[in-house]
Amino acid sequence: MREQLSFRVFRWLVLVPLGLFAVVPLYVMLTSALKPLRDVQGDFQWWPKNLTLRPFIDMWSTVPLAQYFVNSLIVTTAATVCSVVIAVFAAYAVSRYRFRGRGTFAGVILSTQMFPGVLFLLPLFIIFVNIDNALGFTFLYQTRVGLVVTYLTFTLPFSVWMLASYFDGIPRDLDECARVDGTSALGALFRIILPTARPGVIAVAVYSFMTAWGEILFASQLTNSDSRTLAVGLQSYATENNVYWNQVMAAALVVSVPIVAGFLLLQRYLVAGLTAGAVK
Amino acid sequence: MAVTLPGPHTPTSVAGTTSPDPTPSRRRRFTWARSTPYLLIAPAIAFELLVHVIPMLVGIFMSLIQLTQFYVTNWSAAPFTGIGNYRVALDFSGPLGQQLARSFGITLGFTVLVVGISFGFGTSASLVLQRVVRGRGPLRTLFLIPYALPAYAGIITWKFMLQRDNGLLNQLLVDDLHLAHGRPFWLIGGNAFVSLVVVSVWQQWPFAFLMTMAGMQVIPEDVYQAAAIDGASTWQQVRHITLRMMRPVNAVLVLLLFLWTFREFNTPYVLFGPTPPESADLLTVHIYASSFITWNFGLGSAMSVLLMLFLIVVAGLWALWNRRVNRDA
């Protein structure tokens, strides 16, 4: 189809600035991570004059980055697994059963998305302390367990909603046949529905992982020096007298690589899943 | 909310068809088949109660007591003040009320700008890429990377770029282009607001792009062909077909962007730390600071409740408006 010249000009006027806008910070992150310290302390250099890999070595000793990394990895993986498992069961109930309270459940779960985090951050803090006091040992307050419990709920509403719509797209005949053949409800879920809905499950898992990996507000109050995650730990480079910007950029790059790589590999599923709800 | 939960296609459920109740007794007795859905949603309910619902109720209760630093270790002893905290928060002649009102104004301005610009960027990029085949995949990937990046990694990079003495922005504006003199500060003073908007747009607009792009893909190609045969220019097609058919998607998108942006916390917190400059004092950071820095949790909770009520009112008005638009259409 022929497009007018003005539209083609418009295309370049949109794509070039937006491309630069998206790419310049990524370029800064990459090149600054390869500069020696004195080169990031003086005037900004568009082209790095001296290249070094030192920041990628030094960043581990300036702050306990490895520990933050391990904490983030444990918390995020556990939260993702729990969130996806719980969401799969709930979505199966919502998609395949009519039960009393179904609408209420759906409404409440979606409306929790509206609460501002600061409103329940402090009460959560107090509830965790009280549960720990009742148990007699530190279980939830400023521990990785507490953070896992918190994070897994952040993505539950969206995951339940998205998986339920995914399950709805799977013909009911499939699992009804299995049920007639004597499979239990859970058997139908695990043998028929889950294998068919794998793209949806992957999308939900990627989304949960990204959300938990990047969360800052709750990480800033619900962790201590032992359970600190990358979200808070990365800022400790900047609170010292000397800001090691090259190391900060190297660390930012390293913590982003697993996420961006996962996103790029699975973006097809994620994009389809994220947009299915609004577009349908 | 416009988002409704997908429902079963048929009114009879799997459980109903495969295991009809063998005992038609008047009192419904417990059976595993009937309780299956409840068992399935029980874990989700338990965690939502623990992390969202109960803390929210506790938060509402806390907004009604005078929970200051004197009572924080023994908060059950804090005196009950009823709407006292709300009165302080909404007393716009007092210093705390004035700060809250200013913070609300800043947040509203920030939200309108970020949502508007992000929406404009996203829609423009989707429009010009809609019928491009070559190079669309890599461009889409590039545009989405800022969205995939962990928030703190992207924001901390911006913080480096916005440094006064060794940042990229001053190098570009002052030393390379000579547009400004004397190296302005970007992270303190009035410029902090501009920085906040730019960084937030950088993170938000890819989501608008993602949604609008998906929405435009489902517009059938033959509508455009028919319009082209009738002599409609590209711009007319954009205006009368694309933008018109995108209205439902755009309505949901703008609401989501508004709700998220209005309670944005990450950007100001990473850019400026827990106490931002006055010009960038967004509501969530303002509440965070009054709770965790000045230890006035009662007032902080009251302000959080007010913030939540505002968002509920916005979502409610949106739902009413959306229903009327759909009915008239």
With CA atoms as reference, the chain A residue closest to B273 would be A235
Say if the Cβ atoms of B11 and A19 lie within 8 Å: no
Choose among A2, A28, A149: nearest Cβ to B168.
A28
Q: Which residues share a beta bridge with B16?
A: none
Is A182 touching B (CB cutoff 8 A)? no
With CA atoms as reference, the chain B residue closest to A216 would be B266
Please give the pLDDT value at position B4.
Answer: 42
Task: Note the pLDDT tens digit of each residue in B88-145.
Answer: 888 888 888 889 999 999 999 999 999 999 999 999 999 999 878 788 888 988 999 9
Residues of B in contact with A10 (CB under 8 A): 128
Q: What is the DSSP string of A172-233?
A: HHHHHHHHHTT--HHHHIIIIIHHHTHHHHHHHHHHHHHHHHH--HHHHHS--TTT--HHHH
Say if the Cβ atoms of B214 and A231 lie within 8 Å: no
Summarize the confidence of residues B306-326 as an average pLDDT: 88
A45 belongs to a structural domain:
no
State the smallest CA–CA distance between residue A245 and chain B in angstroms: 7
CA pair distance A4, B232, nearest whole angstrom: 11
Q: How confident is the model at residue A238 (pLDDT cuts 50, 70, 90)?
A: low
Please give the pLDDT value at position A249.
Answer: 93
Contact A259, B150 (CB under 8 A): yes
Say if the Cβ atoms of B150 and A15 lie within 8 Å: no
Please give the pLDDT value at position B18.
Answer: 43
Summarize the confidence of residues B258-269 as an average pLDDT: 91
Cα dihedral: A218, A223, A229, A234 (round 10): 90
Is B10 touching A (CB cutoff 8 A)? yes
Please give the pLDDT value at position B77.
Answer: 72
Choose among A117, A152, A275: nearest Cβ to B211.
A275
Please give the pLDDT value at position A143.
Answer: 87
- To test the contact with chain B by mutation, choose from A32, A102, A120, A245 the residue with the greatest count of B C-beta atoms within 10 A, namely A120
Q: How confident is the model at residue B245 (pLDDT cuts 50, 70, 90)?
A: confident
- A88: CATH: 1.10.3720.10
A10 belongs to a structural domain:
no
Contact A130, B55 (CB under 8 A): no
Summarize the confidence of residues B280-292 as an average pLDDT: 88
Please give the pLDDT value at position A250.
Answer: 94
Question: Does position A84 have pLDDT exceeding 90, yes or no?
Answer: yes
Please give the pLDDT value at position B258.
Answer: 93
CATH topology of domain B104-280: MetI-like fold (1.10.3720)
Say if the Cβ atoms of B6 and A165 lie within 8 Å: yes
Of B196, B186, B189, which is closest to residue B109 (Cα–Cα)? B196
- Report the alpha-carbon angle B264-B268-B273, nearest 5: 135
Q: How confident is the model at residue B19 (pLDDT cuts 50, 70, 90)?
A: very low
Say if the Cβ atoms of B166 and A44 lie within 8 Å: yes
Q: Which residues share a beta bridge with A68?
A: none
**Higher pLDDT among residues B228 and B80, named by residue:** B228
Residues of B in contact with A14 (CB under 8 A): 124-125, 127-128
Task: Note the pLDDT tens digit of each residue in A180-202.
Answer: 888 887 888 888 888 888 888 98
Summarize the confidence of residues A124-139 as an average pLDDT: 85
Instruction: Give B263's contacts (C-beta < 8 A, 6+ positions apart).
Output: A116, A117, A118, B283, B284, B307, B311
Contact A101, B42 (CB under 8 A): no
Q: How confident is the model at residue B16 (pLDDT cuts 50, 70, 90)?
A: very low
Task: Note the pLDDT tens digit of each residue in B126-140.
Answer: 999 987 878 888 898
The domain spans of chain B are 33-93+296-329, 104-280
Task: Note the pLDDT tens digit of each residue in A1-28.
Answer: 567 888 889 999 999 999 999 999 999 9
Question: Does position B12 have pLDDT exceeding 80, yes or no?
Answer: no
A265 belongs to a structural domain:
no
Summarize the confidence of residues B147-175 as an average pLDDT: 89
State the smallest CA–CA distance between residue A146 and chain B in angstroms: 10
Instruction: Give A153's contacts (C-beta < 8 A, 6+ positions apart).
Output: A83, A112, B47, B48, B50, B51, B52
A74 belongs to a structural domain:
yes
Residue showing tokens 């799977």: A170
Choose among B40, B153, B288: nearest Cβ to A255.
B153
Domain count, chain A: 1
CA pair distance A130, A217, nearest whole angstrom: 21
**Higher pLDDT among residues B11 and A214, named by residue:** A214
Alpha-carbon distances of B142 from A23, A183, A203, rounded to whole Å: 7, 46, 19
A55 belongs to a structural domain:
no
Q: Which of A56-65, A136-145, B79-88 has the lowest mean pLDDT?
A: B79-88
Is A181 touching B (CB cutoff 8 A)? no
Summarize the confidence of residues B220-247 as an average pLDDT: 88
Is A23 touching B (CB cutoff 8 A)? yes
Summarize the confidence of residues B218-245 as an average pLDDT: 88
**Higher pLDDT among residues B205 and A168, named by residue:** B205
Cα dihedral: B132, B133, B136, B137 (round 10): 160
Summarize the confidence of residues A131-156 as an average pLDDT: 88
Count Cα neighbours of B217 within 13 Å in the Cβ-side half-sphere.
17
Question: Does position A74 have pLDDT exceeding 90, yes or no?
Answer: yes
CA pair distance B285, B263, nearest whole angstrom: 9
- To test the contact with chain B by mutation, choose from A44, A180, A217 the residue with the greatest count of B C-beta atoms within 10 A, namely A44
Summarize the confidence of residues B40-54 as an average pLDDT: 89
ipTM: 0.88
Please give the pLDDT value at position A88.
Answer: 94
Choose among B11, B128, B270: nearest Cβ to A15.
B128
Chain B residues 41-60 within an 8 A CB cutoff of chain A: 41, 43-45, 47-48, 50-56, 58-59
Helical H segments across chain B, by residue range: 14-18, 32-48, 54-62, 84-90, 95-129, 136-148, 151-161, 168-170, 191-217, 221-229, 234-237, 243-245, 247-262, 266-272, 283-288, 297-328
Buried b (16+ CB within 10 A) or exposed e, B245-270: bbebbbbbbbbbbbbbbbbbbbbbbb
Domain extent for A108: 63-237
Q: Is the dihedral of CA B207, B211, B214, B220 positive or negative?
A: negative
Contact A44, B168 (CB under 8 A): yes
